[in-house]
Amino acid sequence: MFEKIIGLFAPSRELTVSVRGQGVEFKVPRGQTILESALHHGLAFPHDCKVGSCGSCKYKLVSGKISELASSAMGLSGDLYQSGYRLGCQSIPKEDLEIELDSELGRAIVPEETIALISEQKTLAHDVIGLTLMPEKPIAFNPGQYADIEYTELSVVRSYSFSTPAQADGSLNFHVRLVPGGVFSGWLFGGDRTGTTVTLRGPYGQFGFHESDDVMVCVAGGTGLAPIKCILESMTGTQRERDVFLFFGVRQQRDLYCLEQIQALQRDWGGHFELIPVLSEEPATSSWKGKRGMVTEYFQEYLQGRSCEAYLCGPPPMVDAAETELLRLGVAHGSIYADRFYNRTAATAQ
Ligand code: FES
């Protein structure tokens, strides 16, 4: 817990949010959501989707009035809503507020905003581009976190996880999947965008590495590989003596990517490192000799009897299914870390 008033001398048009029982206050500029503002101040306010779907940014409104971008009732159960819970990503304070959180508000790296140049764009798979940005200002981040990329010409902001640890030249790498109807990904896939400038904000997110001796179970769905790869590549020394099972779930063979980088990691690993690609829609007549179906079908075979810690990244249905199966196999709830990739294109109808 930390006693702090953040933005004490800020102009009076800002409103104050006090977190009950934690000695924390932060200022919210008019028109900004509670979540945006908390993250801006480097507070680790729980969140995931930022679009009102996942419910992870829930807080209890103790006093004060808010307006909502979309009703919190959409992302919360009826019971929670009736008990006064609201969503931080949808709540704009109309007056000073007191709120309550179910967990202690930790500290995060304070996000920065900077202009960044697209310095490289390369095809990693038929629908995945590796995007390299060179920011004007250095951006510090923890492996597993993500940044928001805004291209103002298209009035679009998208979130992407860092796909490599910090680079010596300060460049930042991301994996961008082509989303049907996606404004940003569609633009990126439409031509060579190197030399274009975008606005970068970050880092955000609480997904990241945890020290343990347990077997690391990594489950990546599609470009969910990016933060997992980033975490694995950032591990050093004795951390690389941990056994790793990396389940990589995609639809077809042509969707598998970055296999050379994974193989390079395997060669450098001290412990056992096994990559298990699983294809869910590979034609039955193809030459594929590997696993087929859903990643969850293979957990028992590889993990039974092992003490595991899991890192799950990808589309919410896959992450939810993986979590359910791991719990069934006896993995402790507190040893499962998840990053759900929400489709903001669908959520914002852009
Ligand atoms: S509902 Fe707010 S972060 Fe998901």
What CATH topology corresponds to 112-206? Answer: Elongation Factor Tu (Ef-tu); domain 3 (2.40.30)
Query: Would you list the DSSP string of 76-87?
Result: S-HHHHHTTEEE
Which atom of ligand 1 is nearest the CA belonging to 50?
3
Same fold for the pair 112-206 and 215-343: no
From the CA of 87, give the closest atom in ligand 1: 2
Q: If phi over 0 gives left and psi between -120 and 50 gives alpha, with beta otherwise, what is residue 262?
A: alpha
Residue 348 has pLDDT above 50, yes or no: no
168 C-alpha to ligand 1 centroid (Å): 34
Q: Which atom of ligand 1 is nearest to the CA of 75?
A: 1
Q: Does the pLDDT at position 8 exceed 80?
A: no
**Looking at ligand 1, which atom is closest to the CA of residue 52?**
1
Give kind and range of the element (H or E) at residue 320.
helix 316-328
* Contact present, 34 and 105 (Cβ < 8 Å): no
Amino acid letter, residue 154: L
Write the pLDDT tens digit of every residue in 67-89: 999 999 888 988 999 999 999 99
Ligand 1 center to residue 36 CA distance, Å?
11
Question: Residue 176: beta bridge partners?
Answer: 129
Please give all residues whose beta carbon lies within 6 A of any atom in ligand 1, as ranges: 47-50, 52-57, 75, 87, 89
CA of 144 to the centre of ligand 1 (A): 18
pLDDT at site 6: 46
Atom of ligand 1 nearest to the CA of 342: 4
Residue 204 to residues 87, 88, 159, 198, 319, Cα–Cα distance (Å): 17, 15, 9, 17, 19
Q: Which atom of ligand 1 is nearest to the CA of 47?
A: 3
Sorted by where each begins, the domain ranges of the chain are 11-107, 112-206, 215-343
Convert the pLDDT of each residue in 160-213 to its tens digit.
999 999 999 999 999 999 999 999 999 999 999 999 999 999 998 889 999 999
Ligand 1: centre distance to CA 47 (Å): 5
Pocket of ligand 1, candidates 34, 51, 207: which has the most ligand atoms within 8 Å of its Cβ, to mutate? Answer: 51
> 96: CA distance to ligand 1 center in Å?
21
Report the Cα 319 to chain-centroid distance in Å.
12
> In whole angstroms, what is the distance from residue 326 CA to residue 335 CA?
10
CA of 285 to the centre of ligand 1 (A): 42
C-alpha of residue 1 to centroid of ligand 1, in Å: 23
Fold adopted by 215-343: Rossmann fold (3.40.50)
CB 239 within 8 A of CB 210: no
Task: Please give the structure tokens belonging to residue 204.
Answer: 């955000």
pLDDT tens-place string over residues 271-326: 999 999 999 999 999 999 999 999 999 999 999 999 999 999 999 999 999 999 99
DSSP secondary structure letters along 80-148: HHHTTEEETTTEEESS-EEEE-SS--EE-PPPEEEEEEEEEEEEEETTEEEEEEEESS-----TT-EEE
Confidence of residue 349 (pLDDT cuts 50, 70, 90): very low
The sign of the torsion formed by the CA atoms of 226, 232, 235, 236 equals negative
Task: From the options 3.40.50.300, 1.10.3720.10, 3.10.20.30, 1.10.10.10, give the CATH code of 11-107.
Answer: 3.10.20.30
Q: Does residue 350 register a pLDDT over 70?
A: no
Q: Are 183 and 345 in contact (CB under 8 A)?
A: yes
**Cβ of 280: how many Cβ atoms within 10 Å?**
17
Hey, whose CA ends up nearest to atom 1 of ligand 1? 52
Q: Which of 54, 77, 91 has the most ligand 1 atoms within 8 A of CB, as the residue to mutate?
A: 54
Bridge partners of residue 4, in order along the sequence: 24
CA of 190 to the centre of ligand 1 (A): 31
Contact predicate 171/132, CB 8 Å: yes
Cβ atoms 202, 146 nearer than 8 A: yes
Strand 172-177 and strand 128-135: the pairing is: antiparallel
| Whole-number pLDDT of residue 343 | 65
**pLDDT computed for residue 109 by the predictor:** 87
Ligand 1 geometric centre to CA of 42 (Å):
17
